[in-house]
Structure 1
């Protein structure tokens, strides 16, 4: 224990004494720049002076600097912030088989088989992205379908929302999952008509499989980090909120932060289910001097997802009256958890998708926050997808931030009304209503559940359409955001949700010079084209960290 504590103290001292070698001053001129000022008003500029990695001034009167960069008239925006993603999860998906575009369960199985053939030395075949709702039969897949393609190695493919997984028989056998295996609390083993496991595990039942999977370590984490960092920078994401990290990743991030090798800024949420939660809370908040790592929040888990009918609803599902969803944190566990996290001075970010889970979270925040008057926690509900209309105003009243992901709406539009019925849609994906109540909405993607490109999220927020511009009039279009509101959600509001608006979220003096150059003006093009925006360059703390090799030619 002495050695462990000594190591931790040395790492933390490095974090707080870290500094980055930067040119004294850099001038980027000839840009069409946009940012929000300190009051949240959209302003424009044509040049930016950077000193020691931070914004010195916009439109300086003198054009002299140690380094001068011509922006070639391109549009400059602050680096975009994804307020809810899974950093190493994206890296994992980039290194595994992607079945997102599969046309059927059989097609997904064939993709997994092709991957297995090309990776003969892998003991397990992992993948992600399947979604039965876009397949012709809209039915959960079965182990037998995978067995027809791969039977000699275990296969585990997670659903697009990461709240369900699909196993072949070999994997089920290794996990010891049989007809006699009971459903764990907060989880479900999907079974056939004879009660045998069919191959799909939902929510907490996934833990039965995770017990026998190979354990990840620092070497794999580094591969995942490298893959994710390169991808995020290429789409203009310079900072992200990592929604639920275990102790092993917590330690990995501390080490990388001390080495100053994190590719993007990470606001990490400790997983509430980690066995070492108490020790991480005891360490207190950690913020590196260069702002590449900030740990001061906890991610808790209320329910599952709508697509797998795991979202906890106040009334049964409209398309399955025998189900009302799953609670991953039981009601009696909520008060102690909330008190523990808030009592340690950490922000609590609670995953809630269904209206029951959202109400439970709001009720518990209302009760627990009475113990901590005048504390600026900025607690959050992650996803906040389906809210009872009576509860919509409570977010602003309790200062609980609804952390939402616009592309969830455009991905869910084919099934959400089936799951909920028309009446419950009044409080579903209700962005405009929540904004009008006076509460900021930090925006993200939930990658790798959705694609990480933030311009896809900006487009969905403004149009309520998918990238095929469907439906033509927008899906429940009265809840759409303006371009400026969506832009704020991916910049200043996301920074605010991480207690980092003092240094991130806009290009105003004193903040880090994190910015991107893009090929079109999102404030002056048809909204349906926002998703086509291409990132030409990405800069972090005044240093170029990405440059597009083959920018799109003018049409």
Structure 2
């Protein structure tokens, strides 16, 4: 039994919003209140030294495997990067020996001095020999160089995929900016990290999350191939991953594989399927969210990525299995 005293405890209870002491037994709070009313419990007394204790934070919309990955890439956002020129300098310094690709993330054209997304001509200045991918802050758009376009076979004659858009110049040539499902034309060519590599990154991320008080997370875009996400999280937990994980599998994989089994839905495992993920449309800041009126300064009205019929079908499955649905709509998750 642990007895914590002399602390500033925020309870999230409207009837008793703060406390100064609490008693913990077998991982559960047995008693909480003001220290002067602390019952005569026997146990290990811990002096909180006036420090703040808060309930564990639940992050309801994360992409932890992707986050663990991008933390090893070039951060292309303030306070590190303020311009495309600065981005190119950082990308040139990136060690691509492990992957063979130069990778960056986090740019927002609204925060860059040039007030535009990096194009293939820009990224070509960082490297023509190696493929480059820089992900926008919303995650719905990427910018790539000519080498990446060539690897993906994207040319003037490549049609836009369903639910995606290849940006083109006045001559119809790809600019290097790929929106929504068009991203996958390039992303599918990235080398797949091994299971052990992903688990190692997750363990490092877990320490970072724990340092901020995050105790439970969601994986809002779980997939089966090339490596099953639930398998990865369960292996990571076996090796010390601290957070509970609710995985939301993409609708396509729910339809393709038998995922909604009793074992996969078992919350007592600490890593389980919590819902289904669909994309209704894109992001507001990326101008791919579906809107009735065009975005200011252009004719874009967004990109519809999933039909109404698919949304209703997924909702029926979630109701049947007692799980949730998450539809990414305008950059938000519902």
When normalised by structure 2's length, the TM-score is 0.90
* Correspondence 1:166 to 2:143: yes
Structure 2 residue aligned with 1:94, among 71, 74, 77? 71
Structure 1 residue aligned with 2:252, among 265, 273, 279? 273
Structure 2 residue aligned with 1:142, among 119, 132, 141? 119
* Correspondence 1:314 to 2:292: yes
1:56 corresponds to: 30
CA contact (8 A) 2:141 2:178 kept: yes
What count of residue pairs does the alignment treat as equivalent?
325
Shift of 1:224: 2.2
1:216-251 deviation digits (Å, cap 9, x = unpaired): 331221122022111111122121222121121122
The unaligned stretches of length 5 or more in structure 1 are 1-24, 355-381, 384-401, 403-555
Provide the C-alpha distance between the structure 1 equivalents of 2:223 and 2:262, rounded to a whole number of angstroms: 14
Structure 2 residue aligned with 1:293, among 238, 253, 271? 271
1:143-195 deviation digits (Å, cap 9, x = unpaired): 11111121111111110110000111111100111111001111111111111
Provide the C-alpha distance between the structure 2 equivalents of 1:27 and 1:294, rounded to a whole number of angstroms: 32
User: Hey, which of these two has a bigger chunk of strand by percent?
Assistant: 2
Q: Give the secondary-structure state (helix, strand or coil) at the position aligned to 1:296.
A: strand
CA contact (8 A) 2:141 2:179 kept: yes
2:182 corresponds to: 205
User: Hey, which of these two has a bigger chunk of helix by percent?
Assistant: 1
Equivalent residues in 2 for 1:463-502 (5 A)? none
CA contact (8 A) 1:271 1:300 kept: yes
* Correspondence 1:332 to 2:309: yes
Shift of 1:104: 1.6
1:453-497 deviation digits (Å, cap 9, x = unpaired): xxxxxxxxxxxxxxxxxxxxxxxxxxxxxxxxxxxxxxxxxxxxx
Q: Give the secondary-structure state (helix, strand or coil) at the position aligned to 2:258.
A: helix
CA contact (8 A) 2:202 2:236 kept: no
Structure 2 residue aligned with 1:107, among 69, 83, 86? 86
Provide the C-alpha distance between the structure 1 equivalents of 2:245 and 2:327, rounded to a whole number of angstroms: 18
Provide the C-alpha distance between the structure 2 equivalents of 1:219 and 1:303, rounded to a whole number of angstroms: 33
1:264 corresponds to: 243
1:553 corresponds to: none
1:232 corresponds to: 209
2:48 corresponds to: 71
| Structure with larger RCO (C-alpha < 8 A, sep 6+) | 1
Structure 2 residue aligned with 1:323, among 296, 300, 305? 300
The unaligned stretches of length 5 or more in structure 2 are none
Q: Give the secondary-structure state (helix, strand or coil) at the position aligned to 1:157.
A: strand
Shift of 1:284: 6.4
Shift of 1:28: 1.5
Two-structure CA RMSD over aligned residues (Å): 2.0
When normalised by structure 1's length, the TM-score is 0.56
2:280 corresponds to: 302
1:254 corresponds to: 234
CA contact (8 A) 1:246 1:270 kept: yes
